[in-house]
């Protein structure tokens, strides 16, 4: 059974096939071509231990457009984390649902659902990984640039779940990537090692740096994320000081290629990780990127849930 726990679970060919399907579903959506036959009669359970705008709306709308039903389950609606084990939750929900999307804190919870259940599990976000976002990002980059192979993506900021999944996604698709983070906020070594191992086979070039000016040089894509992710609000002031040199502003962005695009998974905090002139400027594709969550996730659901 296939899941989406980490992009490393999928081959390069599978990732590219899902991106192709996402493009097809987007075309059909834009041209009012019905595709509700794909998941007619299917039910997706959506477990949210962390709240979200884009994840909930895109999965719920996507499931509806594919002919299925999405069931929202907040942490107050179910017993997982309040006494019931992941084992029992997975066993029970597998009797009711055709698949589960979970947005939570611990990567282990997502992996345990896959181990103990017998339905596909989709990682909607954990503290370590965000594979659905990166599929939408890769779709957007290819849409704007015409290819992924050989491009340079530069990520500047916190070595977080976005950075981890972006490393793996770029390595899988022969996209070069440079990551610039403060030395205190490097990416987790295990995800660097995974990406490096993939890159040795695909030919992607990976750079792990602390100097944002060095990382962004000649980049085709510039990407950043919030400096204080959900649950880190008490660190916001301290992080604002440490990350100040990593703000994507006009001075830093000018070091990328002239036709570079700017990306951010949102929500964004103007004046912190990105300057208003960049995120609201002509090179920004953040709302195309947000829209593509819908289409990329629809492709994931068709891949995993269709008969």
**Residue whose structure tokens are 């017998």:** 118
- Tell me how far CA of residue 299 lies from CA of 16, 24, 52, 69, in angstroms: 11, 9, 20, 16
Among 50, 13, 3, 54, which Cα is nearest to 292's?
54
What the block records as the tokens of 222 is 């510039």
Residues 11, 176: contact at Cβ < 8 Å?
no
61/54 Cα distance (integer angstroms):
10
Instruction: Tell me the Ramachandran region of residue 150: left when phi exceeds 0, alpha when psi lies from -120 to 50, beta otherwise.
Output: left
62, 9, 129: which is closest to 292 by C-alpha?
Answer: 62
Question: Could you give the residue numbers annotated as active site?
Answer: 103, 130, 133, 225, 265, 293
């Amino acid at each position: 059974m296939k899941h989406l726990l980490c992009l490393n679970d999928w081959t390069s060919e599978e990732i590219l096939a899902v991106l192709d399907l996402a493009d097809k579903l987007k075309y059909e959506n834009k041209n009012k071509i019905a595709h509700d036959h794909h998941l007619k009669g299917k039910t997706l359970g959506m477990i949210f231990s962390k709240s979200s705008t884009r994840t909930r709306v895109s999965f719920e709308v996507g499931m509806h457009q594919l002919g299925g039903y999405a069931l929202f389950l907040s942490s107050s609606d179910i017993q997982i984390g309040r006494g019931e084990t992941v084992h029992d939750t997975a066993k029970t929900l597998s009797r009711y649902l055709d698949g589960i999307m979970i947005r939570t804190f611990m990567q282990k919870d997502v992996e345990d659902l896959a181990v103990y259940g017998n339905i596909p599990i989709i990682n909607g976000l954990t503290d370590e990984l965000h594979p659905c976002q990166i599929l939408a990002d890769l779709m957007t980059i290819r849409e704007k640039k015409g290819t992924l192979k050989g491009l340079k993506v530069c990520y500047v900021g916190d070595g977080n779940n976005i950075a981890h999944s972006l490393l793996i996604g770029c390595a899988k698709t022969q996209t070069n990537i440079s990551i610039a983070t403060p030395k205190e906020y490097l990416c987790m070594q295990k995800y660097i090692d995974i990406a490096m191992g993939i890159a040795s086979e695909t030919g992607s070039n990976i750079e792990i740096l602390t100097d944002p000016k060095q990382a962004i040089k000649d980049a085709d894509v510039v990407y950043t994320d919030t400096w204080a992710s959900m649950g880190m609000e008490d660190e916001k002031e301290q992080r604002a000081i440490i990350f100040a040199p990593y703000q994507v502003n006009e001075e830093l962005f000018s070091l990328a290629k002239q036709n570079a695009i700017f990306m951010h998974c949102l929500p964004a905090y103007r004046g912190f990780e990105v300057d208003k002139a960049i995120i609201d400027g002509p090179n920004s594709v953040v709302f195309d990127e947000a829209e593509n969550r819908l289409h990329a996730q629809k492709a994931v659901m068709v891949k995993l849930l269709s008969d």
